[in-house]
Amino acid sequence: MSATARALPNIRPQAAEQEDPREHLMLDPKPRGEMNGMVLESMRSTGWRYWLVTLVLGFLVLTCFFYAWYYLIANGLGVAGVNRPAYWAVFLVNTVFWIGISHAGTFISAILRVMKIEGRRPFTRAAELMTTFGLVQAVSSVFMHLGRVWLAYWLIPYPNERGLWPDFHSPLMWDFLAINTYLLCSTMYLFLPLIPDLAMVRDHKTGWQKVAYRILSLGFRGTEGEWKNLHTAMNIFAFAIIPVMFSVHTIVSWDFAMAMRPGWSSSVFGPYFVIGALHSGMAAVAIVLFLVRSTMKNMKYFIRPEHFNLLGKLMLMVSMAWAYFYFNDYLVPWYGGDKWEQILRLFIEKGPIWWLWYVLLICNIVVPWLILWNRKWRSTPWLLALTGVVINIGMWIERYVIIPETLTINRMPFTWRIYIPRVEIFLTIGTVSLFLLLYMMASRLIPLIPVWEVQEGQEAHMLRKVGKAEIPAVSEIG
Amino acid sequence: MPESITLLALFEDIDPAANGIQKLRSMGVTDDQMNVISGIPMPGRVLGRPNAITNVSRIALVGAGLGMLSGVALIYGTIYLYPLYVGGQPLYPVPMGWIVTFEMTMLGLMVFAFLGLFVDSGFPSYTPKDYVPEISDGKIAVLFKCDSNQERPVVDALTKLGAESVKPAEARQL
């Protein structure tokens, strides 16, 4: 052994350290026609597993979503565990949870587009779809909680029979405006980059399917003017939807924080809720990407470990930020020593369902921090998806602690009563099933991979020789 | 005077397309007589073309203004019409006004950006158009007008530069 090698005992051969550039999607291009074919095949070819899962989900949606809702309507809110003082129950837990899930979809797509993070390209649409389908569940949960859902139009801000307009001072009114703005804008934001891919599908279909995709693609050809207009509109959306996203969950948090209740009245609730939404939403993106990659044909080419690595890093950062805000929200009331805050804290930490609090801390902090620091682990699709499942369980429990548990303890002890969910359990399963079913149906109807964005990225990437090494480089074409 | 015809030249790659455009220009075809149709966005500078002009941002800005006005009208106008005194708060609470005004401004901005795309691109349009489906498979089409007596030299020049085909454009149902 030479003296140099002895002095550097941990040195490894250079060749072993160099990774194959073709591991990166952007440096492993395929002809556009071939990529189109792969995406179209993934929409067309489904195995028995797909239909089995669809059947199970369909059954769950019919029983746990539609039948359970019908049962609730037919018998009234009495069949739910809703009581005084836990009025909002699991219905609002689900609403906040699904709004949170919906956040990351658009946020990931928009922020990565604004920052020009190249790794975003293959999975932006899969993430954006979550927003629309997540918001459907959030809105359904509000309607379920109404009980008399046929009077839902009372929520719309229009003058009543006495000619009085709704009170725009109310946080619930801000909610109506913010959630609807977000739903509408997210759906438009989903549709914009979809237009060229719908045109691509149109060019490859025949018969009635061609007619359907012709209508949906609006007559898009890909002229210079059309691309310029599309690019400008997408840029406007990417920049504008980020503050809207922040506003939506901040306003959702104000539904709680504006009430002078122990556990809720906190100035940190806005950013804490936003981070919480991103925490659960990003975890959900990991789950969805894993499912898409493992159940759909050809997806292993488009969605690679590098994308899970990127997502894992984001999840770790968000988990740390969430822990920071949680600690902030915990420390200040604890230090303040308000009597009701102390009683509430004792109830959460040592009450009859004390274990929920520990589970939420383990799921949201311990598990992600243990797993996501390691590049190899976070790049492993199933492990990242599993971490995503754990985080989402933790975040659902966090909302449960914030809503029904906190509602239980108020300043009137004679009203305290433990909340036990009943039909809400089925409705929760129903919303999860409907979300997944809608996603599976969408995977057959629209290309989940934005092929034109992938090709655009591949055109911009190259390997540049620096000394002895070949370094991936990207040029800004657009 | 010779008749004007529209031709569609199909290229496999960006470089030959850019060379073809340069050649067309040297043969007297002006930029406004050409259009490039591609499966990915091709900024003007990549193909040596002037940048396309868009009105989407202007339309979006108008939308933002209208949205802001409607937000102000909702928060202050409705209260002006029907004064509601709530919880000792001022009749015109400025911080609360910001929330509704912000949401309506952003809604206006994005809805109008979306509509702006439709207006500026002429969407939806289902009439037959000059197009070939190979474009969505990665081919680049240069659509241009020239005099009929120039057809042969133009076809020869573009074929020599790598065009896969140069044919009279055919409007077809997309």
Residue A461, beta-bridge partner list: A474
The B34-37 sheet, strands edge to edge = B34-37, B140-147, B4-11, B165-168
> How far lies A395's CA from each of A286, A373, A420, in Å?
15, 20, 19
User: pLDDT band at residue B139, thresholds of 50, 70 and 90?
Assistant: very high
- Residues in B touching A157 (Cβ below 8 Å): 74
Chosen from B11, B117, B139, B143 to mutate, greatest number of chain A CBs within 10 A: B117
> How far lies A227's CA from each of A350, B1, B44, in Å?
59, 35, 11
Cβ atoms of A433 and A110 within 8 Å: the answer is: no
Pick from A21, A24, A25: which is nearest to A455 by CA? A25
A239 vs B: CB within 8 A: no
Q: CA A131, CA A134: separation in Å to the nearest integer?
A: 5
CA A92 to chain centre: 17
pLDDT confidence of residue A13? 54
Q: CA A81, CA A421: separation in Å to the nearest integer?
A: 5
pLDDT confidence of residue A5? 46
B126/A478 Cβ within 8 A = no
Pick from A351, A279, A36: which is nearest to B137 by CA? A36
pLDDT confidence of residue A477? 63
Report the alpha-carbon angle A188-A194-A197, nearest 5.
165
Segment A343-352 long-range contacts (CB within 8 Å, at least 24 positions apart): A343/A262, A343/A409, A344/A262, A344/A263, A344/A406, A344/A409, A347/A405, A347/A408, A347/A409, A348/A401, A348/A405, A348/A406, A351/A405, A352/A418
pLDDT confidence of residue B89? 76
pLDDT confidence of residue A478? 59
B46/A185 Cβ within 8 A = no
Q: Beta-strand (E) ranges in A96-176? A: none
Chain B, nearest residue to A157 by Cα: B74
pLDDT confidence of residue A2? 47
pLDDT confidence of residue A161? 77
User: Bigger pLDDT: B173 or B107?
Assistant: B107
Q: Give me the residue from B60, B103, B137 closest to A178, CB to CB.
A: B103
Alpha carbon of B30: minimum distance to chain A alpha carbons (Å): 15
Crossing angle of helices A269-295/A48-60, nearest 10°? 140
Q: CA A256, CA A258: separation in Å to the nearest integer?
A: 6
Residue A444, beta-bridge partner list: none
A138 burial class (0-12, 13-18, 19+ CB within 10 angstroms)?
buried
Handedness of CA B109, B114, B117, B123 (dihedral sign): negative
Chain B, nearest residue to A171 by Cα: B96
- Residues in A touching B128 (Cβ below 8 Å): none
What three-state secondary structure class fits A443?
A: helix
A174/B99 Cβ within 8 A = yes
> How far lies B8's CA from each of A139, B37, B43, B126, B139, in Å?
49, 10, 20, 20, 12
DSSP calls for A411-431:
S-GGG------SHHHHHHHHH
pLDDT confidence of residue A403? 94
Q: Give me the residue from A169, A229, A241 closest to B117, CB to CB.
A: A229
- Residues in B touching A247 (Cβ below 8 Å): 99, 102-103, 106
Q: CA A91, CA A398: separation in Å to the nearest integer?
A: 14
Pick from B56, B117, B2: which is nearest to A195 by CA? B117
Q: CA B41, CA B50: separation in Å to the nearest integer?
A: 14
Q: CA B113, CA A165: separation in Å to the nearest integer?
A: 29
Cβ atoms of A146 and A152 within 8 Å: the answer is: yes
- State both tokens at A26: 């952007």
- State both tokens at A163: 């000619």
pLDDT confidence of residue A390? 98
CA A2 to chain centre: 55
Q: Is the ipTM of this complex over 0.90?
A: yes
Q: Which helix (H) or strand (E) holds A473?
A: strand A469-474
pLDDT tens across the length of chain A (478 residues): 444 445 555 555 555 556 677 788 888 889 999 999 999 999 988 778 888 889 999 999 999 999 999 999 999 999 998 888 888 899 999 999 999 998 878 888 898 888 888 888 888 998 889 988 998 999 999 999 998 899 888 877 788 777 777 777 788 888 888 988 998 999 999 999 999 999 999 999 999 999 999 999 999 999 999 999 999 999 999 999 999 999 988 998 998 998 888 899 888 999 999 999 999 999 999 999 998 898 888 999 999 999 999 999 999 999 999 999 999 999 998 998 899 999 999 999 999 999 999 999 999 999 999 999 999 999 999 999 999 999 999 999 999 999 999 999 888 889 898 899 999 999 999 999 999 999 989 989 999 999 999 998 888 887 777 887 777 777 766 5
pLDDT confidence of residue B45? 85
A220 vs B: CB within 8 A: yes
Residues 358-387 of A with CB under 8 A from B: none
Chain A, nearest residue to B37 by Cα: A223
Three-class HEC string of A231-242: HHHHHHHHHHHH
- Residues in B touching A231 (Cβ below 8 Å): 41
B125/A33 Cβ within 8 A = no
DSSP calls for A300-343:
HHHS-HHHHHHHHHHHHHHHHHHHHHHHHHHHHHHHHT-HHHHH
A213 vs B: CB within 8 A: no
Chosen from A40, A121, A131, A169 to mutate, greatest number of chain B CBs within 10 A: A169
> How far lies A366's CA from each of A177, A184, A307, in Å?
37, 36, 23
Q: CA A233, CA A166: separation in Å to the nearest integer?
A: 33
Q: CA A282, CA A103: separation in Å to the nearest integer?
A: 9
Q: Give me the residue from B52, B82, B174 closest to A228, CB to CB.
A: B52
Task: Find all residues with CB under 8 Å of A53, minimum gap 6, and list them.
Answer: A295, A440
CA A406 to chain centre: 25
pLDDT confidence of residue A83? 86
Residues in chain A: 478
